[in-house]
Amino acid sequence: ATPADVPTIHQFITDLAAFEKLSHDVHATESDLHDALFADPPAAEALLALTTDDTPAGFALYFHNYSTFAGKRGLYLEDLYVAPEFRNQGFGLALLTRIAQIAEERNCARFEWTVLDWNENAIQFYQNIGSNILPDWRICRMTKKEIASLANSPSPNS
């Protein structure tokens, strides 16, 4: 992705949030996205899937994480989205394949992402390409309110 692609990626993020029924959680602006993707160093990276006539069909946004067990960094896929009119045409697979190639080029130990438990089409797609859906792991998340509460709570040793 280039800086000129930021409005398109932002729109895809908005579309993804609507699909996931999470539009109320989207607070990122185009400026936020630009800063994340094009800072030095970037907080994240993005790929666009384009049709043969250069119409944006979807995007993937990913960043590095680190595995203490493997002793290597990995890639974490934050978002993968293909617009409805372009689904089942290979764009999602092309995006995932390119990120897997990047992970291999960078000697990453893992390539991970999450999937909503109700998104059966995505789960089947991911299983079909060889990913393992880990049944024993759950995501723990704190947002601004919870972070502030924990950060400002008295230390148990004070």
- By annotation, the residues acting in catalysis are 126
The dihedral formed by the CA atoms of 103, 8, 19 and 122, expressed in degrees to the nearest 10: -30
Q: Are 9 and 1 in contact (CB under 8 A)?
A: yes
How far apart are the C-alpha atoms of 53 and 50, rounded to whole Å? 8
25 to each of 10, 18, 33, 81, 116, how far by Cα in Å?
14, 10, 15, 17, 15
Query: Considering Cα of 48, then 76, then 98, then 42, what sign does the dihedral take?
Result: positive
